[in-house]
Structure 1
């Protein structure tokens, strides 16, 4: 199963996930604190949760199972997913691992401290076609290694 932290997931990435759901017959659940439009599909659904910080993250972690994939750019959520035995994939195609998540958390916390001190750190760069391709390739690798559905 694929869980999507959908509040900030780029539409281009959602489109890749929608096509993959149909092609690979894998369930994709978009979790957000607002309604997210999904195409008509028996493999794709949306789950709206209450507003508030980390509510969608908590719902994803509670419902996911070991081996599930979670699509998120949220580093703390990715760390929780990896700790629970899931796999976390950034919308730019980076698969978070137990080896890389500590470094990513440390960098995120450092940037958070800078922003808290008033330093302008800027936001993420625009999603480029190469990022979409990297995401699609990582998703395809995950789909290929997962056990076949009964």
Structure 2
């Protein structure tokens, strides 16, 4: 089991071409995700892969958001043995909705799917994106942005 004692309560262990060179040209990689009670795999995207997730243990709330055309949220509660697909490039997430630990295995349709964790990418950039830009984009005070950026 991965160490889930972190701010988001999950641990992602990937096996891709960077970890296993034998995957080169095979177009596949896998991930194990361990979730503490109520932990989550925060909103992220894979720019080069579709993802299929299988719940091995526990209960998860999963979801993805369609593109900017209509930003429709699709969610589903999953139990042990259930499967869900996240389309390539769409922002998606998972959250353990149980009081015990949960485990999922995912397969991705690329040897190097990439991952962009939304909060880390926008609030943890180096150098920081200007709080003026975020204040207008999120329609909040700059102090709120500064507080969020300080966590990344």
Band of TM-score, shorter chain: under 0.3
Q: Which has the higher helix share?
A: 1
Q: Which has the higher contact order (CA 8 A, sep 6+)?
A: 2
Q: Which has the higher strand share?
A: 2
- Compute the TM-score of the two structures, normalised by the length of structure 1: 0.25
- Compute the TM-score of the two structures, normalised by the length of structure 2: 0.25
